[in-house]
Amino acid sequence: MFSGSIVALVTPFCSGVVDLEAIKKLIEWHVESGTDGIVVCGSTGEGMLLSYDEREEIISTAVETANKRIPIIVGCSACWTTEAVKLVTQAERLSADGALVVAPYYVKPTQDGIVEHFRTVIESCSIPITVYNNPGRCSVNIAINTIVEIAGFGKVSLKDSDTNLTRVTELKSLAPQVSLLSGDDATLVGYLAHGGNGCISVVANVEPTLVKQIITAWGKGDINTVQQTNARLASLNRVLFVEANPIPVKYILSQRGLIQNELRLPLLPASTAAIKKIDNVTGVNY
């Protein structure tokens, strides 16, 4: 099962085309930085704005570059179950190590509908599925009992962006076999304290070694390092969401010369006001 510091990787573009060379360089950097896993084509990777053929290129490039040194998990999210199955099937065919599947968005399914959605997806493949609960983007919250039921269908992990940390403790008790991953960088330490197994992180795009440092220090019981490192990241965690993700993180990575500052419409590059706030923080020596 997936655990540790997993980065929700951005998708670099150059003149409107996916920049595969930049993806290779980013993956090499994350391997060297000790990142425990990489999600491509997720929310931070503008996965909903990629064509099927672009996904094919990204997944193939990521799998080939990682070369089993680090797991590649593919965002396979759709509001239609049949489409989610199609995306998971693509990821499995291209030898991805797992798939990240968000609760169906926009259509507002019932909890029973969510159960059947994930049952169908899990039964369609043999790769591990990470269930993604993101009520802020999906307008539905996957209930604890629903997650427990889904866990009965096979090996699953959970990425949870619900900041109610009592969910972690309850899930640890009711479904101990599920790897629990924080989807909110700002509450990562609290998530670990409640029994979480790691994170799928936005801030790790910018500071992978520091996120890994928190996970490692927590495992060693080195609370001072956890607190100090978390404090260093606090302001950065905040400014990464002054505008919709991944607008701020792409601006920072472009300033560091790692990617071009390009996004897909309807997303636009960071505004002047956002840049001022980001620059005020990134001027700090992390």
The set of residues, in sequence order, having a beta carbon less than 8 Å from that of 156 and lying 6+ positions away, is 118, 122, 128, 129, 130, 131, 150, 178
Categorize the per-residue pLDDT at 284 as very low, low, confident or very high, splitting at 50, 70 and 90.
Answer: low
Q: Which position among 106, 159, 251, 277 bears the catalytic label? A: 159
pLDDT of residue 33: 98
Average pLDDT over residues 72-79: 96
Per the annotation, the verdict on 159 as an active-site residue is yes
Average pLDDT over residues 53-71: 98
User: What is the per-residue pLDDT across 218-232, written as a single tens digit (0 to 9) for each?
Assistant: 999 999 999 999 999
Residue 91: count other Cβ atoms within 10 Å of its Cβ: 27
Average pLDDT, the chain: 96
Categorize the per-residue pLDDT at 110 as very low, low, confident or very high, splitting at 50, 70 and 90.
Answer: very high
Per the annotation, the verdict on 251 as an active-site residue is no
Categorize the per-residue pLDDT at 128 as very low, low, confident or very high, splitting at 50, 70 and 90.
Answer: very high
Domains and CATH numbers, the chain: 4-219 (3.20.20.70)
pTM for the complete prediction? Answer: 0.96
| Ramachandran angles phi, psi of 186, nearest 5° | -65, -25
pLDDT of residue 206: 98
pLDDT tops 80 at residue 270: yes
pLDDT of residue 236: 97
Contacts 24+ apart (CB under 8 A), 164-171: 165/190, 165/191, 165/193, 165/194, 166/194, 168/194, 168/195, 168/196, 169/194, 169/195, 170/144, 171/144, 171/147
Average pLDDT over residues 249-277: 98
Percent of all residues in the chain with a pLDDT value above 90, rounded to a whole number: 97
Secondary-structure percent of the chain, ordered helix, strand, coil, rounded to 5: 50, 15, 35
pLDDT of residue 155: 87
pLDDT of residue 283: 74
Q: Which position among 52, 132, 191, 220 bears the catalytic label? A: 132
Contacts 24+ apart (CB under 8 A), 50-57: 50/11, 50/18, 50/264, 52/90, 54/18, 55/87, 55/90, 56/90, 56/94, 57/18, 57/20
Instruction: Report the distance separating Cα 49 and Cα 51, nearest Å.
Output: 7
- Give the Å distances, CA to CA, from 102 to 89, 106, 137, 199: 16, 12, 10, 15
pLDDT of residue 1: 80
The single residue listed with the structure tokens 């002047």 is 272
pLDDT of residue 228: 97
Instruction: Report the distance separating Cα 187 and Cα 57, nearest Å.
Output: 33
- The count of C-alpha atoms lying within 13 angstroms of the C-alpha of 59, restricted to the half-sphere facing its C-beta, is 27
pLDDT tops 80 at residue 25: yes
User: What is the per-residue pLDDT across 142-176, written as a single tens digit (0 to 9) for each?
Assistant: 999 999 999 999 989 999 999 999 999 999 999 99
